Each structure stands twice: as structure tokens, then as C-alpha cells.
Structure 1
Amino acid sequence: MYNPPATIESLFYQAEKENLYEKLIVQLNKDFNLANESMELPTTILPSELKNNLHEKIYKLIQYKFAEYLNLLYIIDISEEKIKQLDGSDLVKLSEQVAFLVLAREWQKVWFRNKL
């Protein structure tokens, strides 16, 4: 049964424990490429670096390329409802929360694909 992670740390722990961390990175790269926002993360990237790179990428998209940011959310399939629940008053905090939503959705895709 799928149990969504509550934090980025628990998500990374689950992914590594189930030997799906590399597949998570491949899925991220794939969806960012589909959105024409290439990230090309190496599959050997440390979880802390992945978290920081993704946070920075989301921050820049929100700040400078909002239409592309919305397209990315659509391609990854982040619900509009979840985005509306976030506090948008602090851009740094917002981009960190969106980065978690992105990782959580990508993890869900990878987990289901490998469990079913």
C-alpha cells in the first residue's frame, strides 16, 4: 500500500531503502525535459544536493519564468488544490514547499510503476 512521505528526508529514505532513488532522479529529469526545463541531474547526486538544486530551480521558475513553472506543474501532475493551500507570501518558502510536492508526486509515480 502506498504511504506518502511526510518530509523530503523520509521520501529520500524510502527511495533509497527500496532501491528506487536512481529511478526517482530519472523520472525528475524526464518530466523536466518534457516541460523544456532541462535539469540533467546525475543519478549519483546526493539527496541534499538534489533537494537544493530542485529548490533553486523551482525558485527561479516562479521568479522569472512563471508560465514555464505552471507548465511544469501540469506535466508532473501537481494538483492545483495543493498549490493553492501553500502560503505564497515568502517565495523562498513557497519554492521549497513546491519542490517537496514535485518530489512527492515523482516518487509516487516511481513507486507505483515498480510495485504494480
Structure 2
Amino acid sequence: MNSDELRQVKALLVQDLRLANAIENPNLEDLQNWLAKEIARLMDSDFQAFLNLLYRIDINEEKSRQAFAEHDPPGQFARLIIERELQKVVTRIKYTQ
């Protein structure tokens, strides 16, 4: 993932999670760690909103089930969400050229 794609993924995450406290100029690992913390907070405070987020971002249901079964669900969901948002960014870039 190049820096422009990473910037666009971050922008999508901020938009989809309706957050204003995103980290500045993150690398992929920082972005994933930040997102995992936000996901853990959301899972603890409003689980239904978390499920709605997964639906809105279009996370595969089978992959979601697998992530819930893992040792670190927030980290797994962060990875899945970043992958999905990156797919959206790449698709947009492809069709705007």
C-alpha cells in the first residue's frame, strides 16, 4: 500500500467510524493499532453499532465469524476493515483513471 492509498484508507475510516481523533500521518501498523483500539471501545460500549459498522463497510460475514473466534478480535477486525477499505480505494483509483 503506498502513502496515497494509506491516506485515502484513513479518510474512509474516519468517515465510516465518524471519528475526529484520528492519528496524523500513520503508517499501516499505527493505523491498524489505532483502529483496533477504536473497535474494542465500540464493541464494549455499543455492540449493535459495531455490527452495523461491519455491515456498512461490507465486511464478509464468514470472515467476521472467523475474527470473533480469534485470540484478538479487535485486531482481526481492524485488519479486515483496512483490507476492505483498501479494496474500495483501489477500485476508485482504477475507475477514475
Q: Shorter-chain TM-score category?
A: 0.7 to 0.9
Alignment of 1:1-116 (within 5 A): 14-16=1-3, 19-33=4-18, 38-42=19-23, 44-88=25-69, 90=71, 93-116=72-95
Unaligned runs of 5+ in 2: none
Is the helix fraction higher in 1 or 2?
2
RMSD: 1.9
| SS of corresponding position for 1:45 | coil
**Normalised TM-score (structure 1):** 0.71
How many residues matched? 95
Q: Percent identity?
A: 32
Unaligned runs of 5+ in 1: 1-13
Post-superposition offset of 1:109: 0.3
Q: 1:110 to 1:40 in 2, by over 3 A?
A: farther
C-alpha separation between the residues in 2 aligned to 1:95 and 1:111?
A: 24
Post-superposition offset of 1:89: 6.2
